[in-house]
Structure 1
Amino acid sequence: MRLLVQSILDYAIFMLDPRGVIVSWNVGAQRIKGYSAEEIIGTHFSVFYPPEDVAAGRPAKGLAEAAADGRWEEEGWRVRKDGTRFWASVVITALYDDGGGLRGFGKVTRDLTERRSMSRALDERGLLLARLVQAQERERRRIASGVHDDTIQSMVAVGMRLRTWAEKLPEEHAAEVRTLDETVEAAVNRLRDLAFSLRPPAEGLVESLAAYLDQVKAGTGLTHELRADLDGEPPAETVVTVYRICQEALTNVRKHAGASRVTVELSSLDLGVHVTVQDDGAGLEPSPLPSPSPSPSPDAEARHFGLIEMRERAEAAGGWWHIRGTPGGGTTVEFWVPAVPLARRDHGEDP
């Protein structure tokens, strides 16, 4: 039996003591979670849970329910040694001695990330998401076109008229007109930034992010590095999702981090795209997603909703999103989204 359990590759099978400390480890657990037996035995099993689940007390809840009911089962995100997440099926079984005393728990974990990603290809929610992303991008293009072709041009004309007046007016009035012209010019620059941010990604995810990083650098002098190790070009809706989340993360770096350098890294992982955006800036307060105060500053409110938008985009796509950092120690935004082409409907229409 020991030989059988230790040799199974497709399942992580190990035991916990009554407190949840790991006391045995099989080769399947090492393959799925990345730890050797020497590294992990003696560690509490909560190390496999995402930080938000640990904070919510999910590991303790699982043990308590297994002890009360004999077993506990769920599917959810778990964390490997390298920090990446995978979708897991988990069963915890309480183990009792002949006298009914709790000796510990048997835990079986299976990596279902690939199955979950493949099933998404046939998921109606995925089709709805694709249409929603397309609708959002069409609306963004419409707004960007209106801002660029109408609003900005009108305001540029106003600025030109103000400068003409300033040349003709007495100095005591010309100074006030020049101040108005400077205000109009600043508003035009903000609208140009808005129009640029609303543009859809160009051809190719890496090319689009490289172009956006160059634009950020041109406006701030921020040094950047883009690393990409992708198996191929992701589906269109994945490209948009990754691009928009990275765009929001880089906007936060530019406006709030006070950073001198930012690194964006993309890689193919578990039939999806894994991304980290890391800066060397001011870092985070202990709670990066606080409830908005009654009268938050515009910058604080924008950043708060920007973080929420990133997380909601990733989760709506069937993935996950996480942010971490310490005051003065920089910030890392990390997320993963599936990159499985969505199934076409029977009549052949694009999703």
Structure 2
Amino acid sequence: MRTVNSNDPASAPRFDPEAQGPAPDPDATGAVEPPPQPEGMPGRETHERKAAWRRGEARAAERAGGSEPPRDPYSGLAHPGIAAHAFAALSENVRDYAIFLLDPDGVITFWGEGARLMKWWTQDEAEGGHLRLLYPDGGSEDGTAEEHLLQAARDGEYTGEGHRVRNDNSTFWAGVTLTALRDPEGNLLGYAKVTRDLTARRAADAALVAAHEAAEQARRHAEEASQMKSLFLATMSHEIRTPLNAVMAYTEILTMEMAGPLSPAQHAHLGRIRTSSQHLLAIIDDVLDLSRVEAGRMVVGRSVMQVDAVVSEALALVEPQASAKGVELSSAVSGVASELTAWGDSERIRQILLNLLTNAVKFTDPGGRITLSAGAALQPPDDIQVEGEGPWIYVRVEDTGKGIPADRVQAVFEPFVQADMTLTRQHGGSGLGLAISRRLARLMGGDLTLRSTEGLGSTFFFWLPAAPAEMVRADMGHPSVATPATTAILREVRDAILAEVERVLYGFVARLRSDPATPSAHARTEAELEDHLASFLSDVAQTFGGMDLAAGSDGEGIRDGSDIQRRISQRHGEQRFRLGWAESEVSREHQILSEELAAAIRRHIRRERPHEVEEMIDAVRVFLAAGERVSIESYRRAAGVLSA
């Protein structure tokens, strides 16, 4: 093994920082012409840059002509001794890098002060030692010293990262560059090694990776928790709906005095039960809506709708509530505003407006005022979250109510939160309406925002993407992106059946008494013909409104509702047999009932896409067909055709 004498005078000279020399010439230049005078005058730098460009062009032309300008590959235009002094100066004075030299076999021949400060090996220890003394036993993550020397000799350079060993056997993460040094004939003279301590950077990178992984894990956990919460809410809502539907159905049965006559006080108690049940059912509907939105199962349509039409419908529905409380309700949607059109799901838009209006009525004192207006904007305000270039349509609901404190404005859009929880106890409600409304607005590409001053009132802005007015006609009758079997439509059908029960019963009885196919009904009393049909229809409505077609309609609530309908249908078949009806008359009366109920639903529900209403009517007919089958079976058993 060859050794090197570190005191060999042939080795690179040490830089003496105490040495003095002449001061640099301030007018020195690489240009032919002297720089602008005096010193510090603007333009001296540009003068030098222009000279550099000209010099580069001249040398390139020389090379193209076959005459290479004289230049040493290691010292350039400098004297070789100057280049050696420069290397020594860098090695001794640069602190961020360890710079040292090795001979062709990898033995260290020059060890600078920067190398000592980084690697802690002294000059006496390092010079004369092989490069491998800086590597862990068996090599580092990036390989061994011998492999790196071989690669640098073969390729001209090795660059990599890995652990290196200090004087006290501690390690640090190093970024290294090992460069082969050759003479003009290509003979290997040795190697130059530059090392940088990357421990801090690597630790920072590791911390960033760990933070990213922790954030990603937290995000996954949050999503899982949100999904579990939504599943829990949906499951609990369905579980609560199951007994609630039964309570409402049995309340109707008691009200019909099927188990015996009731006193006025008992009727009043049943009325309170019915009202409380309907209130609880509305809260359950809100919880289900929220769980669907958060679980990503809420589907909204995208069609063109006229703002004025939806606003008018919402106002008509809220007008009785406002009048009863003595709150003035007015619409300023007129003129140009009445012709505005927007993209969205008209059913969901109506739901949002109803929520805003009912809240305004709820929290506005008698004698107050609620005003609806609409408009358009090319650019939305900074406080809304929308995507796209616009333009935008907004509906503004402004009231003179109690207002909301500034620190509670955003909180009212969170689930189960209201501006003042004492108002929740006073006025009722779950605190879900605004949370659902904002989520629905954003699903449609819009937003819902609020401006409020405590004591002066609140103003809600409902934003939607604008649509060309000429598309309103083209969009009529065409299916929306959303499937029609949405919860909102189901509830709308439920409400239609409940609202039209009396009218359905009247038409049903009138047709039975005049239809040639039902002669047994012509002389019967109204009570005999109706035969608890009101309870049957009420239970169908409640069961239908509780369906969730997206999740499947075979839940406990549907089965419990069908059980009540089955009991009523069984009694109906028995009653028709006792009255002497023919089986064909029982079938005919169910056909009449189906026609009357379909007409009632069409009267009560006015939608832009009639095919959605027809699909819901077909779904209702499934319940009626099941009731008809049970009635026929019960009729046949009473007649002795079927065994009990």
Short-chain TM bin: 0.3 to 0.5
Q: Give the TM-score normalised by the residue count of structure 1.
A: 0.42
Structure with higher strand content? 1
Q: Give the TM-score normalised by the residue count of structure 2.
A: 0.25
Q: Which has the higher contact order (CA 8 A, sep 6+)?
A: 1
